[in-house]
Each structure stands twice: as C-alpha cells, then as structure tokens.
Amino acid sequence: MACAMFSEKVSLMKMLSHPNIVNLIEVIDDPNSDKFYMVLEYVEGKIVWDKGLGEATCRKYLRDIISGVMYLHSHNIIHSDIKPDNLLVTSTGNVKIGDFSVSQIFEDDDDMLRRSPGTPVFTAPECCQGSAYHGRASDTWAVGVTLYCMITGRYPFLGETLQETYDKIVNDPADIPSNVSPQLVDLLERLLCKDPGDRITLEAAAAHPWVAGDEGPVPEYMCRCGFGRRKRNGSQEAVQ
C-alpha cells in the first residue's frame, strides 16, 4: 500500500512543471535496498526570515508561494508542510516550494484528509482536533503562518509544549504588530481565520489588494500536462 502511494506521488510529481515548484528530475530505485532516491532541481538559497522582512519583499515571495500552492491544489496535491524552511530562493529571487515528503494526494474534488500535517507551529486549528479536515484550507492556513513569520520574524502561536502550542493555535488570536499596513492586517486575519469554512481561499487571496499591489492578481498558471484539462472535463484518467 505504501509503495503504491509512493509510486502514485512520484508519477504525479514527475508531471509537475511550475516556476515556483522544485522540480523532480529523477527517481533512483536502489536494487540493494528498499530505498528510493529522489533527484531534485538544485536551488541556491532559502528565505532568511528570523529578523522579519519588509512588506515589499514579503509580497513578492507570497505571490510566488500562492501561485505554486494553487498549482499543486489544481493537481490534487496537498503539500501539508508549507513553511519558510521549505521555501527555496533562486539567484533571481524567485521562490520555489520544496520538500514533498509529507504531501498528500486527494481524489476527484474531495480534499478531506485525516493524517496530520507536517510541522506543529504551522498546523491549522482544525488539524489540532484529530478529526478529518480539508487539505486546501489547511495549506492556506500554513501560507498565512508563513506570511506572519516573514513579516514579524516570529511564530504567531508557540507554546512551551506541543499541547500548549495547539491550544494557542485553536484559541488565541494572532498578535499582529501595529506597524503592519491595514491591508496586510486584513489579509493576515483572513488567512489565519480559525474557522476553515470562513477562511479566505488561495484564489481569493491571489486577488486580495495587498497581494495584487501594483501588479494585479496572481495569475493562474496554465499547465500543459493535461491533468487540469482532465479535471475540468470530469475525468480522472490514470497518470502514466
């Protein structure tokens, strides 16, 4: 079962091609063990966020993140571990999303999942309860936490224990600094909405005034792999 799921994930990842996704180049099956080795695109740098970044830089990075995550969702992939440490920066300043080790695939349009996402401080409130949750909404929450980290240089919800961290995620409002622009405050509050049903979607975030800035809404990436076309036609053909 695990091998079949891994093969399915690899097949889909091989098909992915997006400027904000670390591309999978090759998978090597070691004949002397039960291990697989994934050869990924090399990207030079990472986001250094511990001292906070300016709004202009955060806007640029967030546009890339939103574009990449929307692309993944359009291919039925929930990343499940969006965070600054999994975001790489090219020499030209473009962000690429990496580390798909805990990503999950959903079928048709049903993104209900049960396995907990990757990193506790980026976990959505609904995922702290141990029940099923919508993967796209949980990724969106993690995008919001990532934006908060980039802006402030700290986590919005962090306790001394795992349970205390979860309690803060579920119950405490995010402490947004007073020097943050009103539009960004609005976006953060919408991304970090405790109720996944009321949380802003990534598609809506892509058109949010703070994200759009002078460039306009984040455009939908036109994929050439055919997966999106099959989804729109209502057919889930097997990935070859």
**Domain extent for 83:** 46-231
DSSP-assigned letter for residue 157? S
Let me know if residue 106 belongs to a domain: yes
- Does residue 20 contact residue 67 with C-beta atoms inside 8 Å? yes
Specify if 102 maps to a domain.
Answer: yes
Asked whether residue 13 is domain-assigned, the answer is no
**pLDDT tens profile 160-218:** 999 999 999 999 999 999 999 999 999 999 999 999 999 999 999 999 999 999 999 99
Total H helices, total E strands in the chain: 8, 9
The pTM (predicted TM-score) of the whole model is: 0.87
Residue 189's CB: how many other CB atoms inside 10 A?
A: 14
Domain annotation covers residue 18: no
* Total of domains in the chain: 1
Task: For residue 9, tell me if it sits in a domain.
Answer: no
Confidence tier at 16 by pLDDT (50, 70, 90):
confident
Residue 92 within any structural domain of the chain? yes
Q: Is residue 209, in this structure, part of any structural domain at all? A: yes
Q: What pLDDT does 240 receive? A: 32
The answer to whether residue 81 is catalytic is yes
Decide if pLDDT at 28 tops 60.
yes
Q: What share of the chain is helix, strand, coil (3-state, %, to 5)?
A: 40, 10, 45
* Residue 239 maps to a domain: no
Q: Which of 64, 81, 99, 139 is catalytic?
A: 81
CATH number at residue 201: 1.10.510.10
pLDDT (tens digit per residue) in 30-54: 788 877 777 878 888 888 898 899 9
Whether residue 237 has pLDDT greater than 50: no
pLDDT of residue 112 exceeding 70: yes
